[in-house]
Structure 1
Amino acid sequence: MKKGLQLFLVICLVFMGLGGIVQQPAQAATDDSLARIQRKGTLVMGNSPNYPPYEFQVNKNGKEKIVGMDIEIGKKIAHDLGVKLVIKKMSFDSLLVALETGKVDMILSGMSPTPERRKNVDFSNVYYSGGQDILINKADKGLYHNKDSFRSKKIGAETGTLQYDQAKKQMPGIKVVGMDNASDLILALKTHKVDGVAKDEASATAYAKNDPDLIALKGHFKTSKAEAGNAIALPKGSTSLRLAINKSLNTIKQKNLIQKEYLVTAGSYMKVNTQNTSMLHYWSYFAKGVLYTLGISLVAVIIGVLLGILLALIRLGHIKILRALATAYVEFVRGTPLMVQIMFVYFGIGVFVNIPALIAGTIAVALNSGAYVSEIIRGGINSVAKGQVEAARSLGLSQSSTMRYVVFPQALANIWPALGNEFISLIKETSIVSIIGVTDLIYQLRIVQADTYKGVIPIVIAMILYFIMTFSLSRVLRHYENRLRHPATE
Structure 2
Amino acid sequence: MSDQFVMSFITNNRWQLYIKGLGTSLLITIGALALGIVLGVLVAVVRTGHDQQKGKHSGGLSVANTICKVYTTVIRGTPMMVQLLIMNFVIFASSKNLYLTAVLALGINSGAYVSEIIRGGIMSIDPGQMEAGRSLGMNYATVMKEIIIPQAIKNILPALGNELITLFKDTSLVSVIGLGELTKVARDIQARTYQPMMPYLGIAAMYLIICIILTWLQGILERRMRQSERR
Normalised to the residue count of structure 1, the TM-score between the two structures is: 0.42
Q: 1:292 deviation in Å?
A: 0.8
Asked which structure has the greater RCO (Cα within 8 Å, sep 6+), the reply is 2
Q: How does 1:57-68 map to 2 (within 5 A)?
A: none
Contact 2:8 2:195 in 1 (8 A): no
Q: Distance in 1 between matches of 2:207 and 2:182?
A: 9
Q: Distance in 2 between matches of 1:278 and 1:329?
A: 42
Q: 1:395 deviation in Å?
A: 4.5
User: Over aligned residues, Cα RMSD in angstroms?
Assistant: 1.9
Shift of the 360–280 alpha-carbon distance from structure 1 to 2, 3 Å rule, reads: same
Q: 1:326 deviation in Å?
A: 0.8
Q: Give the corresponding residue for 2:53.
A: none
The answer to whether structure 1 residue 467 and structure 2 residue 208 are counterparts is yes
The answer to whether structure 1 residue 334 and structure 2 residue 64 are counterparts is no
The answer to whether structure 1 residue 388 and structure 2 residue 129 are counterparts is yes
The answer to whether structure 1 residue 290 and structure 2 residue 22 are counterparts is yes
Q: How does 1:67-106 map to 2 (within 5 A)?
A: none
Q: Distance in 1 between matches of 2:71 and 2:80?
A: 14
Q: Distance in 1 between matches of 2:169 and 2:72?
A: 21
Q: Give the corresponding residue for 1:55.
A: none
Q: Distance in 2 between matches of 1:292 and 1:489?
A: 39
Q: 1:401 deviation in Å?
A: 3.3
Q: Give the corresponding residue for 2:189.
A: 448
Contact 1:342 1:365 in 2 (8 A): yes
Q: Distance in 2 between matches of 1:399 and 1:329?
A: 23
Q: Distance in 2 between matches of 1:398 and 1:409?
A: 16
Q: Give the corresponding residue for 1:401.
A: 142
Contact 1:389 1:407 in 2 (8 A): yes
Q: 1:390 deviation in Å?
A: 2.7
Q: How does 1:56-455 map to 2 (within 5 A)?
A: 277-281=7-11, 282-318=14-50, 319-351=61-93, 353-455=94-196
Contact 2:48 2:122 in 1 (8 A): no
Code of the aligned partner of 1:455:
P
Q: Distance in 2 between matches of 1:314 and 1:489?
A: 32
Which ranges of structure 2 fall in alignment gaps of 5 or more residues? Answer: 51-60
Q: 1:385 deviation in Å?
A: 1.4
Q: 1:396 deviation in Å?
A: 4.6
Which ranges of structure 1 fall in alignment gaps of 5 or more residues? Answer: 1-273
Considering only CA atoms, is the larger Rg found in Structure 1 or Structure 2? 1
Question: What are the superposed Cα offsets for residues 241-278 of structure 1, whole Å, 9 maximum, x if unpaired?
Answer: xxxxxxxxxxxxxxxxxxxxxxxxxxxxxxxxx9x615
- Please identify, of 399-408 and 329-338, the stretch whose mean Cα deviation from structure 2 is larger: 399-408
Q: What is the percent sequence identity of the aligned residues?
A: 39
Q: Distance in 1 between matches of 2:125 and 2:113?
A: 19
Give 1 or 2: higher strand fraction. 1
Shift of the 480–447 alpha-carbon distance from structure 1 to 2, 3 Å rule, reads: same
Contact 2:8 2:199 in 1 (8 A): no
Q: Distance in 2 between matches of 1:280 and 1:425?
A: 30
Q: Distance in 1 between matches of 2:99 and 2:139?
A: 43
Normalised to the residue count of structure 2, the TM-score between the two structures is: 0.86
Counterpart of 2:118 in 1: which secondary structure? helix
Give 1 or 2: higher helix fraction. 2
Counterpart of 1:486 in 2: which secondary structure? helix
Q: 1:441 deviation in Å?
A: 0.6
Q: 1:475 deviation in Å?
A: 1.3
